[in-house]
Structures are given as C-alpha cells and as structure tokens.
Amino acid sequence: MSNLRERYNKELKAVLQEKLGIKNIMAVPKLTKVVINMGVGEAANDKKYLESAVQNMTAIAGQKPVVTKARKSVASFKIREGWPLGCKVTLRGDKMYDFMERLIDIAIPRERDFRGLNPKSFDGQGNYNFGIKEQIIFPEIKFDNVDTIRGMDVCINTSATNKEDAKALLEVLEFPFKR
C-alpha cells in the first residue's frame, strides 16, 4: 500500500471528517481516479512523436496509455478521422495514490516559476483539472532521451459532490494551492 493511501486512511480521513462536519465516515470524500492526457499534434505528420509520448507517459504513470484518435477530419489542421493524435491513461487504486504522492512531493515543486495551483480550477461536481507544461518535472523521465518538451492535462476525480469538499480533500492531501 502506498504511503499516501495509508496516511489518508489512518489520519487524514478523520481530520477531514471533523473539518467538514460529516457524521458518517463513509461519506468523507476520497480520490476515485486520476486521468492524465497528453495531446500530440505533431503525430499527424510523424508517428515517432506519438511513440515518444507513449514511452514518456508509460514511465510517468506506471501503466501503458491508450492512444486517442481524431473523432472527425479537420481540413485546416490537415487531420483525418481516425488518425492517432495523443494518449491518455486512467489511474485507480494503488497506482493512483503512488502517482499522486510523486506529483505532490516531487514533480510539482520541480516546476519552473511555480507559484501554486489555481484554486478556481474545480468544476461543479468536485473534480480538479490542471495542466503541466513540461513532462521533464517527473524524475522518471531522463532529460537526455527527451525529443521535445510536451505538456499534459491532469484530471483528479473525487467522490465529493461540490467544489468546497473537493478543495478540502486536496488541501488535506497537501496540494500546493495559491494563497
């Protein structure tokens, strides 16, 4: 079991229950899944870019991503329907907690000119979305093997029903929000 999951179950769940004033311990918000998405627009011209992105995503997430394809043709971007354009991976369980632990403790503090995550990036259902500009902030990525710097989107889904509860959950997990 990962350290973050163990700490959440033993300490942080009770703290969050008291902070939110929830009577039932089973109603306390928790992480349900993390989706990481990397769009690779250059893959329309050269398939090597997509292979490199898949390798980077595999190293970061710890499991092989799914290659996403274009849903419809766009003439101005010279893209045809069904062409591979990116990759995504959905993490649940222990892999999700391992990724979150590495993200919070190692990767986010390594980001250049980092001043905190935007606290307004919650949607109405208790999910949090943010972008990472460079994949090289993760220690699994070897800087010498990177062909281009790529960004990625991270979507953190929680069992919270509103953004206040979701923000309280992420604050308990020590997410670095702007003040």
User: Domains along the chain?
Assistant: 31-169 (3.30.1440.10)
pLDDT attached to residue 1: 58
pLDDT in tens, the chain (179 residues): 578 899 999 999 999 999 999 999 999 999 999 999 998 877 667 778 888 889 889 999 989 999 988 888 888 777 788 878 889 999 999 999 999 998 988 888 888 888 888 888 898 888 999 998 888 888 888 877 777 888 899 999 999 999 899 999 999 998 888 87
CB 88 within 8 A of CB 35: yes
The HSE-up count of residue 140 (CA atoms within 13 Å, CB side) is 14
pLDDT attached to residue 145: 76
- Distance between CA 8 and CA 30 in Å, rounded? 9
User: Structure pTM?
Assistant: 0.88
Where does residue 89 rank: exposed (0-12), middle (13-18), buried (19+ CB within 10 A)?
buried
pLDDT attached to residue 23: 93
pLDDT attached to residue 168: 92
pLDDT attached to residue 43: 64
- What are the φ and ψ backbone dihedral angles of 85, each rounded to 5 degrees? -130, -10
For residue 118, which amino acid is it? N
- Distance between CA 15 and CA 132 in Å, rounded? 29
pLDDT attached to residue 44: 62
Structure tokens at 102: 């590495």
Which of 97, 171, 81, 159 shows the shortest CA–CA distance to 126?
159
